[in-house]
Amino acid sequence: MKLAKVLIANRGEIAVRVIRACREQGITPVAVFSEADREALHVLMADEAYPIGPAPATESYLRIDRLVATAKAAGADAVHPGYGFLAENAAFAEACAAAGLVFIGPPPAALRAMGDKTAARRLARTLGVPMVPGTLEPVASDDAARAAAAEIGYPLMLKAALGGGGKGMRLVRAAGDLAGALRAARSEAAGAFGDSAVYLERYVSEPRHIEVQVLADAHGHVVHLGERECSIQRRHQKLVEESPSPCVDPALRARMGEAACRMAKAAGYVSAGTIEFLVDPDRNFYFLEMNARLQVEHPVTEMVTGIDLVREQLRIAAGEPLGYAQADVVARGAAIECRINAEDPFGGWLPSPGTITGLRAATGPWVRDDSGVYEGCTVSRFYDTLLAKLVVWGADREAAIARMARALGEYKVVGVRTTIPVLAQIVAHEDFRAGRLSTHFLDRILPGLTAARGRLRSVAIIAAVLAEYERLGHHTLPPPAPAATDAWRMAFRPGAGGGRR
């Protein structure tokens, strides 16, 4: 079947990303928006846009009933969920199917299988995919935990069975701390996920977070598109991602890729998906979990492989076969993504909602700006802080880093605080440049990062004083756009017979 009209059940940069892919495929993109988003970029860019409720996501972007009804009313034949919101919600996928809408993502069964961490871990074990040594099932009692811990060895991690985002996790350094940590982790897990089950895992020091992108069609073909290194995180929020990983060589890539494809096949996976691995300093890799959706950081994979992942999702959803094999997937160069969030990195990382009064995005050679905002738009307090993803490609990692440093220097956002200054410092950091990364990298360097200060103190004072001088109106600056015309007017000789209309 051919998709003709796709409703995008999302907002922000990912809605814009999907709109672009639809348009390039000749598909009519349909946006939805909450009351806070009438003037959001995805509304302006779509062919059609429909309101779906008040600002809180629970009353709009998470309302399965309204999304399905809107898709039907608009005559859409498919729904793209983006990431977040309902992207991995099996009930949404089923509601779409029930309404005769193609859900652009994996089948509900695969969503359910991957959403249950224990089931996913069980599948990995069955397939012989390496996992961090630990208990496969949640520990039933403190005694069981103690016995398992003795076998795994200390330090170890407690993790919530239904967890995510760091909640219900505890590092246990010694046997004496186990009982207390169990209590704390269970209580936190119960509060966060409604389930107190926790399991034990060996603690890996200096782990890297490396994930493998897979594509699977509805005809049983599965390929992987190499890995992304996502070790630069703060509170489990990725901030900088890259492909390839500086620590993965072709042999390791082949082994991780093969494991990822095996998982996807066994799970009956269809569409774009990601298998997350933890890699230890000896380059052993361990299955973490599967993300049954397009990832935020998918562009770095696109830039090195030349494969348009959203286009592939659309093709796969339409029932087309991949049409290429693993050997046809060839990576070139290196790509890096930096997340530009409306947060104040030097002010406790507070979110920074507000109006973007000035915006100059980076552009030029091999710079890609996947943005959800524009000058004059409002950054609402109701949604996450991601404004844009700045992505660069370079012939090698060094060239990509230099390009990212250049691009971050060009990127100007006025009106809200952003992560740009700290991203510039990360990209300039010697450990980042050397590829010495782990998920602790950011926690380790952040305390030492402060707003750069010194060299430009006088220039900053001059700018501030001139702004005030101008505001007082005594001696205004030349208006934004005079020059040529003014010079021109002076050169003009009215005596020579010219007259203004």
Partner 1 sequence: MRFVATLEDGVEPVEVRGEGGRYRLTLGDEVWEVDARLTAQGIYSLLIGGVSHVAEVTDDGGACVVDVGDETWVIRVEEATRHIIRTRGGGPAGHGGQTLTAPLPGRITHVAVKPGDRVEKGDTLLVIEAMKMENEFRAGMAGTVAEVRVGAGQAVNAGDVLVVLET
- Active-site positions read 293
Determine the residue type at 6. V
For residue 474, state whether it binds partner 1 (rule: CB under 8 A): yes
User: Rounded CA gap, 70 and 96, in Å?
Assistant: 11
User: Rounded CA gap, 149 and 199, in Å?
Assistant: 10
Answer for which of 104, 424, 437, 442 binds partner 1 (CB under 8 A) is 424
Size (the chain), residues: 501
Q: What are the Cα distances from residue 372, in Å, to 9, 35, 187, 407? A: 15, 17, 37, 18
Find the helix packing angle between 397-410 and 420-428, rounded to 10°: 150
Cα angle vertex 367, ends 444, 246, to 5°? 40
Q: Which does 355 bind (CB under 5 to 8 A by kind): partner 1, a copy of itself, none?
A: a copy of itself
For residue 371, the minimal CB distance to a copy of itself (Å) is 7
For residue 470, state whether it binds a copy of itself (rule: CB under 8 A): no
For residue 373, the minimal CB distance to partner 1 (Å) is 11
Q: Contacts with partner 1: how many residues (CB under 8 A)? A: 81
Query: Which of these segments, 59-67, 77-85, 122-130, 402-410, binds a copy of itself (CB under 8 A)?
Result: 402-410
Nearer to a copy of itself, 212 or 390 (CB): 390
Please tell me whether the peptide bond between 29 and the residue prior to it is cis, using omega within 30 degrees of 0.
no
For residue 487, state whether it binds a copy of itself (rule: CB under 8 A): yes
Find the helix packing angle between 309-317 and 12-24, rounded to 10°: 70
Answer for which of 409, 443, 462, 463 binds a copy of itself (CB under 8 A) is 409
For residue 58, state whether it binds partner 1 (rule: CB under 8 A): no
Query: Which of these segments, 1-9, 85-93, 142-150, 394-402, binds a copy of itself (CB under 8 A)?
Result: 394-402
Nearer to partner 1, 55 or 144 (CB): 55
For residue 98, the minimal CB distance to a copy of itself (Å) is 32
Nearer to a copy of itself, 27 or 149 (CB): 27
Which residues within the stretch 356-385 sit at the binding site for partner 1 (CB under 8 A)? 357-358, 360, 374-377, 381-385
**How many angstroms separate the first and last alpha carbons of the chain?**
60
For residue 236, state whether it binds a copy of itself (rule: CB under 8 A): no
Where helices occur in 365-419 by DSSP H, the ranges are 397-410
For residue 37, state whether it binds a copy of itself (rule: CB under 8 A): yes
Answer for which of 381, 431, 461, 489 binds a copy of itself (CB under 8 A) is 381
Which residues within the stretch 299-338 sit at the binding site for partner 1 (CB under 8 A)? none
User: Rounded CA gap, 116 and 483, in Å?
Assistant: 64
Which phi and psi angles does 40 have, rounded to 5°? -70, 155
Which residues within the stretch 317-336 sit at the binding site for a copy of itself (CB under 8 A)? 332-333
For residue 489, state whether it binds partner 1 (rule: CB under 8 A): yes
For residue 324, the minimal CB distance to a copy of itself (Å) is 10
User: Rounded CA gap, 169 and 423, in Å?
Assistant: 27
Beta carbons within 8 Å of 284's beta carbon, 6+ residues apart? 130
The answer to whether the beta carbons of residues 260 and 288 sit under 8 Å apart is: no
For residue 227, state whether it binds a copy of itself (rule: CB under 8 A): no
The answer to whether the beta carbons of residues 161 and 197 sit under 8 Å apart is: yes
For residue 35, state whether it binds partner 1 (rule: CB under 8 A): no
Query: Which of these segments, 63-71, 228-236, 302-310, 436-444, binds a copy of itself (CB under 8 A)?
Result: 302-310
Which residues within the stretch 444-463 sit at the binding site for a copy of itself (CB under 8 A)? none
User: Rounded CA gap, 10 and 33, in Å?
Assistant: 8
Q: Which does 284 bind (CB under 5 to 8 A by kind): partner 1, a copy of itself, none?
A: none
Answer for which of 1, 150, 171, 461 binds partner 1 (CB under 8 A) is 461
Answer for which of 118, 353, 366, 406 binds partner 1 (CB under 8 A) is 353
Query: Which of these segments, 128-136, 235-243, 368-376, 449-457, binds a copy of itself (CB under 8 A)?
Result: 368-376
For residue 340, state whether it binds a copy of itself (rule: CB under 8 A): no
Residue with structure tokens 């399991």? 199
Q: Other CB atoms closer than 10 Å to residue 81's CB: what's the count?
A: 26
User: Rounded CA gap, 32 and 43, in Å?
Assistant: 7
For residue 63, the minimal CB distance to partner 1 (Å) is 17
Taking phi over 0 as left and psi of -120 to 50 as alpha, with beta for the rest, 30 belongs to: beta
Count of CA atoms in the C-beta half-sphere (13 A) of 377: 22
For residue 336, the minimal CB distance to partner 1 (Å) is 18
Any bridge partners for residue 103, and if so which? 79
Q: Which does 364 bind (CB under 5 to 8 A by kind): partner 1, a copy of itself, none?
A: a copy of itself
Residue with structure tokens 């060589």? 249
Please give the structure tokens belonging to residue 67: 């999304």
For residue 466, the minimal CB distance to partner 1 (Å) is 5
The answer to whether the beta carbons of residues 214 and 223 sit under 8 Å apart is: yes
Interface contacts to a copy of itself, rule CB under 8 A: 16-17, 20-21, 23-26, 35-39, 45, 54-55, 299, 302, 306-308, 311, 332-333, 353, 355-356, 360-361, 363-371, 374-378, 380-382, 393, 395, 399, 402-403, 405-406, 409-410, 480-485, 487-488
